[in-house]
Amino acid sequence: MNLRAFRYPTVAAALVLAGALAIAPYARSQIDAAPSWAPIGTSASGASSTVWFHEPGSRQAVACQTVAGADGRLAGVSCAQGRLP
């Protein structure tokens, strides 16, 4: 068996492996983890308004409704979240 014949492929494989290990720490995942909420509907009645949002990736829905204060002015926004089947 001639060991000189295996020397060049072995050196080439070692160089490729060293190059891959040198580049690996710089590789980053391209996954966008930020949710993308899409508005799916709105409703208004009197002094109250409601809006629904949907996030397809996690199958979650959020409904937000304005809350009126004692004097009839906007006092805040109340939201409820649920998971769609």
Question: pLDDT at residue 65 above 90?
Answer: yes
Measured in degrees and rounded to the nearest 5, phi and psi for residue 33 equal -85, -5
Question: pLDDT at residue 66 above 80?
Answer: yes
Question: pLDDT at residue 26 above 70?
Answer: no
- Confirm whether pTM is higher than 0.75: no
Query: Tell me, what's the pLDDT at 27?
Result: 62
